[in-house]
Amino acid sequence: MSRLKSKLAIEGGTPVRQTMLPYGRQLVDETDIQAVAEVLRSDWLTTGPVVSEFEHEFTKLTGANEAVAFSNGTASLHAAMYAIGVDVADEIIVPAITFVATANCIVYQGGIPVFADVHPDTLLLDPVCVEAKITSHTKAIIAMDYAGHPCDYDTLRVIADRHGLILIADACHSLGANYRSRVVGSLADLNVFSFHPVKAVTTGEGGMVTTDDEDMAARMRIFRNHGITNDHRERELQGSFRYEMVDLGYNYRITDIQCVLGLSQLKKLPSFISRRRAIAAKYDAALANNKAVSVLGVHEDVLHAYHLYVVKLQHHQLRVSRLEIFEALRAENIGVNVHYMPLYMHPYHKQFVDNDANEICPVAEEAFDSILSLPIFPSMTNEDVTHVIEALNKVLNWFAS
Ligand SMILES: *Cc1c(COP(=O)(O)O)cnc(C)c1O
């Protein structure tokens, strides 16, 4: 690299690329658009046949007996908490590093999120830390498949069974992943997905819960429809006006417009995941000998879905903090991101931890200071990948200690 080219964009040099590369984005093509247009011309825009079709495809994909679709992933998590009967003061164990919704769904139902530390190698919920947090009030564990790497469900299942707990997977990152040759969506008692545009497949907004438990599925269908026992289309078919509200629910329904997009996107899930894995392999190869970063561990018994590609900065090799590296990469037009701040560091979630304990989840806190998510999404070109690697090398060399 010439001296001119190596000067950081943040210090007035030329950026590695001219336009901002986001960390994630959807891939919607003409067949998706056609499919949506057809539903717009049909009789049913919501609670119609395409919702059931999308749910059916999800049972086929995951091998679960039941799939219930919702307006978004957060509503799906809320419904899961309702289905398992979370009550006031029930404790649910969640990883310290996750999206806020993983814990918020517990609070919606009056429960208390209990934060357990993650494993330094994968940033996945550490089973040893989970067991240490179990009390007589613990009702369930929500594992989160961080970055698209499935958690160790066999070990978590043993712990859950030993203590009579329900095991839930927040699988919002891991649609399309495998664990010991088993498909994500059938690994926990309830498995939750999101179809936000940055996720593996999108419906704009949308979510799903898969389960083998028919009673819980029935409860979730009522919950997403105000607590009413039948929906508009069922009443039409029965020629009836009568409905009964049996419990307090919400309007968490998804539309047929969204579900048809989901159906069209699902067909492309295998190609989306293989592209994500190919990009990850390029990053792995390029970063293997870079002492300034380490990549997260991947267990041999999983197929990783690579919702995120996360690197950890090696601070002893660098003379600046993560913030300077982050800002320098942004100036190079590389849309790096940080997933996530330990939840209890948010002003709202502080109430759920003991203020006197200065390090509640030390591994999560240490990781938070060094993690960076690099751009990864199926429509990224090889040139985009090269830009990320070039910018990372440029910035890390500049700030080498
Ligand atoms: C995206 C996401 C959610 C929430 O999904 P929405 O569809 O945005 O409501 C929950 N948990 C995790 C880990 C997520 O990444």
pLDDT, mean of residues 316-342? 98
3-state secondary structure of 277: helix
User: Domain residues of the chain, as ranges?
Assistant: 3-24+269-398, 30-266
pLDDT at 307: 98
CA torsion sign for 396, 300, 60, 192 is negative
Atom of ligand 1 nearest to the CA of 205: 7
Q: Is 267 part of the annotated catalytic residue set? A: no
Strands 178-179 and 182-183, sheet pairing: antiparallel
Strands 190-194 and 166-170, sheet pairing: parallel
pLDDT at 1: 47
Tokens of 253: 């329904």
- Residues 354-372 have pLDDT tens digits of 877 777 999 999 999 999 9
Q: In Å, how far from its chain's centre is CA 247?
A: 29
Going by CA atoms, what residue is nearest to atom 15 of ligand 1? 172
| Residue in 279, 233, 281, 282 with CA at minimum distance from that of residue 42 | 233
Going by CA atoms, what residue is nearest to atom 6 of ligand 1? 73
- Residues 74-87 have pLDDT tens digits of 999 999 999 999 99
Query: Got the DSSP string for 323-347?
Result: HHHHHHHHHTTB--B-----GGGST
Give phi and psi for 279, each to the nearest 5.
Answer: -65, -45
Rounded percentage of the chain residues whose pLDDT exceeds 70? 98
Q: How far is the CA of 99 from the centre of ligand 1 (A)?
A: 7
Residues framing ligand 1 (Cβ under 6 A): 72-74, 98-99, 101-102, 144, 170, 172-173, 194, 196, 207
Give phi and psi for 255, each to the nearest 5.
Answer: -90, 160
Mean pLDDT of all residues belonging to the chain: 96
Q: Domain 3-24+269-398 maps to which CATH number in 3.40.50.261, 3.30.2130.30, 3.20.20.70, 3.90.1150.10?
A: 3.90.1150.10
What Cα–Cα distance (Å) separates residue 179 from each residue in 77, 140, 176, 288?
21, 21, 10, 25
Q: How far is the CA of 74 from the centre of ligand 1 (A)?
A: 6
- Residues 82-130 have pLDDT tens digits of 999 999 999 999 999 999 999 999 999 999 999 999 999 999 999 999 9
Q: Which of 139, 199, 268, 394 is catalytic?
A: 199
Q: H helices then E strands: how many in the chain?
A: 14, 13
Residue 260 and residue 42 in contact, taking contact as beta carbons nearer than 8 Å:
no
Query: For residues 169 and 164, what is the distance between their CA atoms, to the nearest angstrom?
Result: 16
How many CB atoms lie under 10 A from the CB of residue 381? 10
Residue 333 and residue 20 in contact, taking contact as beta carbons nearer than 8 Å:
yes
Query: Does the 30-266 domain belong in CATH 3.40.50.720?
Result: no
Give phi and psi for 198, each to the nearest 5.
Answer: -85, -10
